[in-house]
């Protein structure tokens, strides 16, 4: 069964380029097109796409319409994945996109659109409920320093912080156990405690790991 995709971008040439890349894939089907926030929400309501590929800035305000659309869809069409495309490697936008959960959400830079593989794989991933964050945005997150008076990471124990640091390197529980000389059961207990303290305990395991790592990178600077 094809993945049904809606495309939203107010720049005609960019929009048509995205549509051509998508329609070149046998398992992807463009079912709706929009140029504004309101048009996008109307397309979603009428066509019920599996995934929305949207520019981050569109009329009417040209600010964060793509992020707003993703937030609204989390409530009105929770099974619809969203791939946000931006010219800006903004960590703040990425964190806003993930604020209500990382499942079914992707943040890519528009320069990736020229690489069909990057875009179509992101569409397939969010359709499965997964998450994709552009590597350049991850670099932005690494460079950030939290300005909040109290870090959410302050609630973690030293051992939990060590486990999360290992997780941020992409290690599995087995690899973390080996690195920190713990049992896998102990690592699992630590990770569950981390997810609970960071407020990501209600999501799928992969999405919990992604969001916990994003929070770690944003506050600890890698």
**85 and 190 fall within a common domain:** no
Domain residue limits at 83: 3-142
Greatest mean pLDDT among 38-47, 67-76, 89-98, 110-119 lies in: 38-47
pLDDT digits (tens, 9 = 90+) for 170-216: 788 999 999 898 899 999 999 999 988 888 766 666 677 877 887 78
Last residue of a domain, one of 142, 174, 191: 142
Q: CA-to-CA distance for 71 and 54, rounded, in angstroms?
A: 13
**137 and 155 fall within a common domain:** no
**35 and 58 fall within a common domain:** yes
**86 and 168 fall within a common domain:** no
**106 and 215 fall within a common domain:** no
Q: CA-to-CA distance for 135 and 60, rounded, in angstroms?
A: 29
**105 and 177 fall within a common domain:** no
Asked if 197 and 155 count as a contact pair (C-beta separation under 8 A), the reply is yes
Domain count across the chain: 2
196-218 burial string, b = 16+ CB within 10 Å, else e? ebbebeebeeebbbbbbbbbbbb
**128 and 157 fall within a common domain:** no
**9 and 52 fall within a common domain:** yes
CATH number at residue 11: 3.40.50.2300
Q: CA-to-CA distance for 17 and 205, rounded, in angstroms?
A: 35
**58 and 9 fall within a common domain:** yes
**122 and 161 fall within a common domain:** no
DSSP 201: T
Range of weakest confidence among 80-94, 101-115, 179-193, 197-211? 197-211
């Amino acid at each position: 069964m094809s993945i049904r995709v809606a495309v939203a971008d107010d720049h005609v040439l960019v929009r048509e380029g995205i549509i051509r890349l998508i329609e070149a894939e046998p398992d992807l089907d463009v079912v709706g097109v929009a140029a504004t926030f309101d048009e996008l929400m109307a397309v979603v309501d009428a066509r019920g796409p599996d995934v929305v590929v949207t520019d981050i800035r569109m009329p009417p305000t040209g600010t964060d319409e793509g992020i707003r659309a993703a937030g609204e869809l989390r409530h009105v069409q929770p099974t619809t994945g969203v791939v946000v495309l931006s010219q800006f490697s903004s960590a703040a936008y990425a964190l806003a996109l993930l604020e209500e959960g990382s499942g079914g959400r992707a943040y890519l830079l528009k320069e990736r659109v020229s690489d069909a593989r990057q875009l179509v794989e992101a569409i397939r991933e969010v359709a499965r409920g997964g998450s994709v964050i552009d590597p350049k945005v991850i670099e932005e997150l690494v460079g950030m320093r939290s300005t909040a008076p109290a870090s959410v990471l302050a609630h973690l124990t030293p051992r939990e912080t060590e486990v999360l640091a290992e997780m941020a390197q992409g290690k599995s529980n087995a690899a973390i156990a080996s690195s920190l000389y713990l049992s896998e059961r102990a690592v699992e207990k630590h990770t569950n405690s981390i997810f609970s303290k960071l407020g990501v305990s209600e999501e799928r395991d992969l999405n919990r790991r992604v969001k916990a790592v994003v929070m770690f990178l944003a506050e600890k600077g890698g």
